[in-house]
Structure 1
Amino acid sequence: MENFTFNKRFIIGLTLVSAMGGLLFGYDWVVIGGAKPFYERFFYITHSAVLQGWAMSSALIGCLIGAVFSGYLSDRYGRKLPLILAALLFLVSAIGTGAVDHFTPFIIYRLIGGVGIGLASTISPMYIAEISPAPMRGRLVSVNQLTIVIGILSAQIVNYLIAEKVAPGTSDEVIRNSWNGQMGWRWMFWAEAFPAFAFLVLAFFIPESPRFLAKTGNNEGCMTILGKIGGAHYARDEAANIRETLKDPSSKINWKALWEKSVRPMIIIGIVITAFQQWCGINVIFNYADEIFTAAGYSVSDMLFNIVITGTVNLVFTLVAMRVVDKWGRRKLMLLGAAGLAIIYVLLGASYFTGIRGIPILTLIVMAIAVYAMTLAPVTWVVLAEIFPNRIRGAAMAVGTTSLWTACFLLTYTFPLLNKALKASGTFWLYAVICIAGFLFILRKLPETKGRSLEEIEKELIG
């Protein structure tokens, strides 16, 4: 495959359009963290840990719904149509969330946005993996994580630029009646509508996945797309490999096949690594920056600036990951991430426990985000898009992302409760234990997949 000449402009164009799902995923997921100090005052929920947790985690219920149905939609209707649907849901959610005056419709629109995230988080990396030649696949699938990170950083910058400065010690009532409390948080959500509309338009112009076309018997369409990617010889060889791995090229989904003895180990790996990517705890830093930085002695305005710093670090080290994922390999990076986070969390917990505040806390948080951005964040999506057989990839990806969003919901909903019961120190020590367990699982169970075609990986794992 190394001897083929690939149409990089075409491949990168498809990758960037599909990865806009990742951009909106990142923005929609994180924007609420910066809006949190203001909408909580607006809706009078500052003294209810349950309602605070529900506001933060409600979108994750939508993510679960989107992830569950993504398998059916992608295996029944292809990869393109669900991406269009995800774009439409992002657009509706962005406009609706900022327009409401009551807590219940706020939650409803967050749920709608969550469904868009659930669809995009499954289908964007799957589409990219299925149009990518093996030598480029790790970097190209990592583009989806890059756009997630750009979406995260965009939300953090937008939040910082929109919010007016809040003086330390400002009361809830003053914040509620300020521009931040009445309009600022709305514009944080409305800003997402612009990229959502662009994604909706552009998604109509990308072709269907060649592997889905082959799966549904459209061999001519499959050959056409593969030919545009790598030429006639590449199309012939790749199409032959795809057909060999498709036992039943029909659009009917066989959910029982997910638990066949030969497939089960891959499904278990997918469930565990996606749950671990969330339970490693890093995402609470983005969603609960208010509590974490306040506990470290920072004000609301300082918090908004600090999360821009963490977002920038996130972006820089995601770019580092794209450089090394096809050189170092997936397994090595996953092990590095699990071990690095465990060590940092032990130190972070000790800092909170001993009353250390300010710069040391910020430094450890930045280090944790750097480690996560270079390892677990992008590589989990790469592995998830690679390890499942062609004939069940849509359904299997749905299982993996359902596991991810279930874990994310539990993480996000329980953090305020854990933080109240265990304090910040005990909570981060708990995440350290989880990281050690994740390290041991990856060490024992995760195979290396770099540099192999999807069909070669399937043959090796199934035997």
Structure 2
Amino acid sequence: MQIIAKKQTTYKFNNRYILGISFISALGGYLFGFDFAVISGALPFLRTAFHLSSWWEGFLTGSLALGCIAGCLLAGKLADRYGRRPGLMIAAAIFAFSSIGMAFAPGLAFFVIMRFCAGVGVGMASMLSPLYIAEISPAHMRGRNVAINQLTIVTGILITNLVNYLLSDMHEAWRWMFGLGVVPSLLFLLGVFFLPESPRWLISMGKQAKAISILTKIGSAEFAQTSVTAIGQSHQKTGQSSFSAVFSKSVRPAVIVGVTLAVFQQLCGINVVFNYTSTIFKSVGANLDHQLLETVAIGVVNLLFTLIAMWQVDKLGRRPLMLAGSIGLALSYIVLAALLKYQAPAIWISAFVLLPIALYATSLAPVTWVLISEIFPNNVRSAASSVAIVSLWIAYFILVFTFPILVEHLGTYGPFFLYAGICFMGYLFVKSRVKETKGQTLEQLEHNFTGH
């Protein structure tokens, strides 16, 4: 139990309970990390099994994003009508089904359909997990708690890369790689049964008694009553939720920030490093064993620097981390592109692959999810989050679909000059449009971003 003093008022918080339900919800991020990483280890085998052209390689990789778009749109409607918890359950069930489907895929078309279905589950979880965590977390620990979702993503990436490496000598190794996704999805489904519903959603449905019961488990009775009053006033001022309300004049500034950051998080280019590690290292002569080992190194660095981000996001704040990450990525990409162009030794390529991974893990990766989960008004949060995260997955599809085609025409190094330019533009946007959000309640942020 921790005591926090704010504006002459002292609240007690049950940190163990808050962290427990945050970690359970964040298991949705593990599914994201699994399907995100499994393609990197499986691609060398899929190229042979399905005789992939550069076009099909990009489309197969990006088909996950197309499913994610559908999943985000579905999750927004489900979350508003039935609550956050049922949506998380459905996401886990879809992911379990699609993992088995990909493992037993008889051909390319069936595999792509199953990967699309996996994307539906990932898209739902990618929207609902950080949204849920933001809604149940007190202001002073919201940034760290939402970043737990990013921690489970990178944990999923690391464990999946390790498993891919260990399975690489097996017959039809790619089937095992995808099939093992059923394990975390079933664990996630089991965990969601122990989650309470979001108190903010319950208040929007007029279920104040249930909301107060949950809030008193999170903090003191005084905290619960103050929160209920503030949330209720927020809903009265902003009215009922709808997708049309997302684009209203008052909400538009927050939507512009959320969508732009979501698109920037993907078009900054880091995910081609995650998804196409084998392509990058093959271009400088590394063998398959080296390629898969590099994915493990990427996973380790990603995890370590995500932990640093969790430690700092509520101390340094969101804005300084985003600024440092975006300009750092721009500079490191320029060096990486030059090294690839002049066929530098693999050890130098590895260093300047891991550096942008570290920068991304401490900035754009966790902080974007934190900001998307907290800058929208209560009554449109799920709908507005859907819009932002759909934009994120569209950008992801564009990125991973175009990379093999760009490599074919520009060489492996060429796209990184483009990504460096995008990162510099992202730096300018954050500097001019993104406000600091640390330490403020969701209702206070609603006033700051919309004027309500």
**Class of the TM-score when normalised by the shorter of the 2 chains:** over 0.9
TM-aligned CA deviation for residue 248 of structure 1: 7.2
Counterpart pick for 1:304 among 292, 314, 317: 292
2:390 alignment partner, one of 394, 397, 402: 402
Separation of aligned partners in 1, 2:179 and 2:67: 19
- Note if 1:31 corresponds to 2:38: yes
- The one of 404, 414, 435 equivalent to 1:447 is 435
- Return the letter of the residue paired with 1:81: P
Query: Shift in Å at residue 423 of structure 1?
Result: 1.4
Corresponding letter in the other structure for 1:30: A
The amino acid across from 2:193 in the alignment is F
Query: Aligned partners of 1:121, 1:394: CA distance in 2, in Å?
Result: 12
Cα deviation 1:201-233 (Å, max 9, x = unaligned): 121221110000011111111111111100201
Secondary structure, counterpart of 1:120 in structure 2: helix
Provide the rounded CA distance (Å) in 2 between the counterparts of 1:386 and 1:319.
Answer: 20
CA contact (8 A) 1:43 1:102 kept: yes
CA offsets 1:405-443 (integer angstroms, 9 cap, x no match): 000000010001111112122210000000000000110
Q: Check 1:275–1:371 CA distance in 2 against 1; reply closer, same or farther (3 A cut).
A: same
1:290 maps to 278
Partners of 1:163 and 1:425 lie apart in 2 by 27
Instruction: Confirm whether residue 112 of structure 1 aligns to residue 117 of structure 2.
Output: yes
Matches within 5 A, 1:135-214: 135-164=140-169, 179-180=170-171, 183-214=172-203
1:79 aligned to 65, 73, 84, which one? 84
Task: State which of 28, 31, 34 in structure 2 corresponds to 1:21.
Answer: 28
**Pairs within 5 Å for 1:290-369:** 290-369=278-357
Task: Name the CA distance, whole Å, in 2 between partners of 1:186 and 1:152.
Answer: 17
Q: Give the TM-score normalised by the residue count of structure 1.
A: 0.94
1:169 equivalent in structure 2: none
1:43 match: 50
**CA contact under 8 A between 1:72 and 1:253: conserved in structure 2?**
no
Counterpart-to-counterpart distance in 1, 2:418 and 2:345 = 20
1:260-283 C-alpha deviation (Å, 9 max, x unpaired): 111101001111000000000000
1:65 maps to 2:70:
yes
Query: Does the Cα contact within 8 Å between 2:253 and 2:450 map onto a contact in 1?
Result: no
The C-alpha deviation readout for 1:72-124, integer Å capped at 9, x for no partner, is: 11111110011000000110011110011211111111011000111000000
Residue type matched to 1:11 in 2?
A: I
Please list the CA deviations of residues 24-58 of structure 1 after superposition, one character each: whole Å capped at 9, or x if unmatched.
1110121011011112211222xx11111111111
Gaps in structure 2 of 5+ consecutive residues: none
TM-score (norm 2): 0.96
Aligned-pair distance for 1:259?
A: 1.4
SS at match of 1:4: strand
Aligned to 2:250: 262
Instruction: Look up the SS of the partner of 1:5 in the other structure.
Output: strand
CA distance in 2, matches of 1:394, 1:122: 8
Matched, 1:95 2:100: yes
What's the counterpart of residue 176 of structure 1?
A: none
In 2, the alpha carbon distance for the partners of 1:11 and 1:355 equals 50
When the two chains are superposed, the root-mean-square deviation of aligned CA atoms in Å is 1.2
Q: Does 1:384 align with 2:372?
A: yes
2:13 aligned partner: 6
Give yes or no for contact 1:216–1:249 (8 Å, CA) kept in 2: no
Identity %: 45
Report runs of 4+ in structure 1 exceeding 6 Å deviation.
none
Q: Distance in 1 between matches of 2:238 and 2:445?
A: 19
Opposite residue 385 of structure 2, the aligned amino acid is M
Secondary structure at the counterpart of residue 424 of structure 1: coil
How many positions carry a matched residue from both structures?
A: 444
- Aligned residue among 274, 279, 292 for 2:267: 279
Partner amino acid, structure 2, of 1:32: I
Alignment of 1:210-225 (within 5 A): 210-225=199-214
CA distance in structure 1 between the partners assigned to 2:192 and 2:450 by the alignment: 34
Give the AA of the match of 2:182. Answer: A
Which secondary structure does the structure 2 equivalent of 1:277 belong to? helix
